């Protein structure tokens, strides 16, 4: 391990020597811990990042209207606008890739549920479904189901590796939760956790904060940190070893996400794309969501604040918003493209800077919890790589079947547990009624192990009326529930299920 004398020289050169102010007060264990942390920080690089961030803070938000163009027709298709035959071709192509082991899922799960009012990782959160299942369980079971569908289609027993990007605060808790729940039926070796990177927090003058006398204040580097993390944690090498060609990347907080969606994957593969984005129609001109479009000929997500009201309201001949492709953090990448980004373009990604209230140790050694913004956190965003590809496509999907964000506590009444639960149960109600059943109550849930998107349920629901809260289980779950050798508590959180 590098000696403290070496760090003194590095910190002095980078004008961060204040970080060692309390060195002589530290216990031996704290010194060892501090040196280990300091060795992970490239101080010349983070100083450069601060200078870039500082310039972005002083810049006014530039309106991009004159540079923007809607997505070209050959780069855009809508699930609701294509015929059933083509949709089936995409689905079949995607299932074939899954069956051949060419597809992985990369879940971005570094966030804690702070805004939900809990201190644990958001993926462990239950929105109060009849099954009590968490986001992690729902998504793991969707992976299992789509692998089963691929086998039905091709006869091949493929598999999907589930990569989960955590952060420092969530990694151990996530790992323990998945282990204690037997990875929700996925093979242990096919569930791979890795951590996104961390960046120091700065005051407005570029000085790095001390969180404690023996530790620097660090924050996750945003979901755009995924590219460096894939490289530095050996995940790209692991993908190559497994023969993975395509990766579905999404955030943990969308309860409706179609994990490893074979239609989306098949569409991107058939189009020869190395990068793709799922989008939904903006709910209206003023919805504060980024839109996918072209800026100076390159693909980009433009934030609502970067567009004038006039441009946001532009409509085409059919009455649709011209810039309607709302970004939902749901992406397709070829592994070839991921390697190119990680090795050649990661350092060129745009920086996003947020002013924050950052606790710190002051010049007197006192821990301070500020009541106003006193510094900045720097992030990169996953979608800022769109500009580096010409082989880019977008796939528009219905919001009611594919997107319901979970960000806030129920008191916010939007993007909260209540709305997530409502949207999932409404979707399942539509599946049941399309298959000939009737739902006359709130709270009928379909297990992901039974049906991925409403298929294979007709014999379970046709002609039936569901007037009580219930969960329609897969055959596997039915057997477990009826087998006296198992307790309800042992069945991966199926507590409270009635059928």
Render pLDDT for 306-341 as a digit per residue (tens, 0 to 9): 999 999 999 999 999 999 999 999 999 999 999 999
Q: DSSP H helical segments within 219-353, as ranges?
A: 226-232, 235-242, 262-270, 309-312, 335-340
Burial class of residue 79 in the structure, from the number of CB atoms within 10 Å of its CB (0-12 exposed, 13-18 middle, 19+ buried): middle
Domain of 351, CATH number, reads: 3.90.550.10
pLDDT at 489 over 80: no
> Does residue 247 share a domain with residue 215?
yes
pLDDT tens, position by position, 106-134:
999 998 888 899 999 999 999 999 999 99
The pLDDT assigned to 494 comes to: 45
pLDDT tens, position by position, 194-243:
999 989 999 999 999 999 999 999 988 999 999 999 999 999 999 999 99
To the nearest 10°, the Cα dihedral for 438, 444, 447, 450? -10
Q: Where does the pLDDT of residue 488 fall: very low under 50, low under 70, confident under 90, or very high at 90 and above?
A: very low
Scanning the structure block, which residue is given the tokens 């803070």?
57
The pLDDT assigned to 487 comes to: 40
> Does residue 324 share a domain with residue 287?
yes
Residue 412 lies inside a defined structural domain of this protein: no
Percent of residues in the chain assigned helix, strand, coil, to nearest 5: 40, 20, 40
**Where is pLDDT greater, at 269 or 60?**
269
Mean per-residue pLDDT, 406-428? 96
pLDDT tens, position by position, 237-276:
999 999 999 999 999 999 999 999 999 999 999 999 999 9
CA–CA distance, 275 with 395 (Å, rounded to integer): 11
> Does residue 482 share a domain with residue 435?
yes
CA–CA distance, 269 with 337 (Å, rounded to integer): 13
Residue 499 lies inside a defined structural domain of this protein: no
> Does residue 476 share a domain with residue 365?
no
Mean per-residue pLDDT, 411-429? 97
Give me the percent of the chain exceeding a pLDDT of 70.
Answer: 96
Last residue of a domain, one of 58, 80, 101: 58
The pLDDT assigned to 439 comes to: 97
> Does residue 291 share a domain with residue 201?
yes
Residue 497 lies inside a defined structural domain of this protein: no
Last residue of a domain, one of 344, 375, 407: 407
Mean per-residue pLDDT, 354-360? 92
Average confidence score pLDDT of the chain: 93
Last residue of a domain, one of 407, 432, 450: 407
Residue 90 lies inside a defined structural domain of this protein: yes
> Does residue 230 share a domain with residue 297?
yes
The pLDDT assigned to 499 comes to: 33
Residue 135 lies inside a defined structural domain of this protein: yes
Domain of 467, CATH number, reads: 2.10.10
Residue 209 lies inside a defined structural domain of this protein: yes
> Does residue 289 share a domain with residue 371?
yes
Q: State the distance between the two ends of the chain, measured CA to CA, in whole angstroms.
A: 59
> Does residue 366 share a domain with residue 331?
yes
Residue 434 lies inside a defined structural domain of this protein: yes
Domain that holds residue 422: 417-490
> Does residue 242 share a domain with residue 370?
yes
> Does residue 51 share a domain with residue 175?
no
CA–CA distance, 401 with 424 (Å, rounded to integer): 8
pLDDT tens, position by position, 446-456:
999 999 999 99
Residue 306 lies inside a defined structural domain of this protein: yes
> Does residue 248 share a domain with residue 383?
yes
> Does residue 45 share a domain with residue 167?
no
The pLDDT assigned to 480 comes to: 83
- Residues 239/101, Cβ–Cβ less than 8 Å: no
How many structural domains does the chain have?
A: 3
């Amino acid at each position: 391990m590098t000696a403290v004398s070496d760090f003194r020289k590095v910190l002095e050169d980078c004008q961060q020597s204040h970080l060692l102010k309390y060195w002589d007060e530290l216990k031996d264990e704290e010194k060892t811990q501090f040196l280990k942390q300091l060795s992970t920080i490239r101080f010349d690089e983070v100083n450069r990042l601060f200078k870039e961030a500082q310039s972005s803070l002083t810049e006014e938000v530039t309106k991009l209207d004159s540079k923007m163009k809607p997505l070209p027709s050959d780069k855009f298709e809508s699930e609701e606008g294509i015929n059933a035959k083509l949709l089936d071709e995409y689905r079949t192509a995607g299932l074939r890739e899954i069956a051949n082991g060419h597809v992985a899922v990369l879940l971005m799960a570094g966030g804690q549920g702070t805004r939900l009012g809990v201190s644990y990782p958001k993926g462990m959160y239950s929105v109060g479904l009849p099954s009590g299942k968490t986001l992690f369980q729902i998504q793991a079971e969707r992976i299992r189901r789509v692998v089963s569908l691929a086998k039905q289609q091709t006869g091949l027993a493929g598999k999907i590796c589930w990569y989960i990007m955590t952060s420092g605060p969530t990694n151990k808790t996530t790992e323990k939760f998945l282990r204690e729940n037997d990875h929700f039926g996925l093979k242990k070796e096919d569930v791979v956790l890795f951590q996104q990177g961390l960046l120091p927090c700065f005051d407005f003058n570029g000085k790095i904060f001390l969180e404690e006398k023996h530790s620097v204040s660090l924050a996750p580097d945003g979901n755009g940190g995924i590219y460096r993390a894939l490289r530095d944690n050996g995940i790209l090498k692991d993908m190559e070893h497994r023969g993975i060609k395509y990766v579905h990347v999404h955030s943990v907080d969308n309860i409706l996400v179609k994990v490893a969606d074979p239609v989306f994957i098949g569409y991107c593969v058939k189009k020869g794309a190395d990068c793709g984005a799922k989008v939904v129609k903006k709910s209206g001109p003023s919805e504060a969501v980024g839109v996918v479009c072209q800026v100076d000929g390159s693909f980009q997500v433009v934030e609502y604040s970067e567009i004038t009201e006039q441009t946001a309201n532009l409509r085409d001949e059919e009455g649709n918003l011209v810039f309607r492709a709302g970004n939902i953090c749901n992406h397709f990448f070829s592994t070839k493209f991921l390697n190119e980004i990680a090795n050649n373009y990661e350092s060129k990604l745009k920086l996003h800077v947020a002013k924050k209230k950052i606790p710190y140790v002051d010049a007197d050694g006192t821990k301070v919890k500020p009541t106003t913004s006193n510094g900045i956190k720097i992030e990169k965003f996953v979608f800022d790589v769109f500009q580096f590809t010409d082989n880019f496509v977008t796939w528009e999907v219905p919001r009611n079947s594919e997107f319901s964000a979970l960000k806030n506590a129920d008191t916010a009444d939007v993007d909260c547990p209540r709305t997530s639960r409502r949207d999932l149960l409404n979707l399942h109600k539509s599946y049941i009624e399309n298959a000939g059943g009737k739902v006359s109550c709130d709270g009928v849930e379909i297990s992901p192990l039974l049906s991925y998107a409403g298929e294979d349920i007709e014999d379970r629901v046709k002609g039936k009326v569901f007037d009580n809260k219930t969960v329609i289980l897969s055959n596997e779950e039915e057997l477990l529930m009826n087998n006296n050798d198992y307790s309800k508590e042992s069945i991966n959180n199926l507590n409270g299920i009635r059928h």
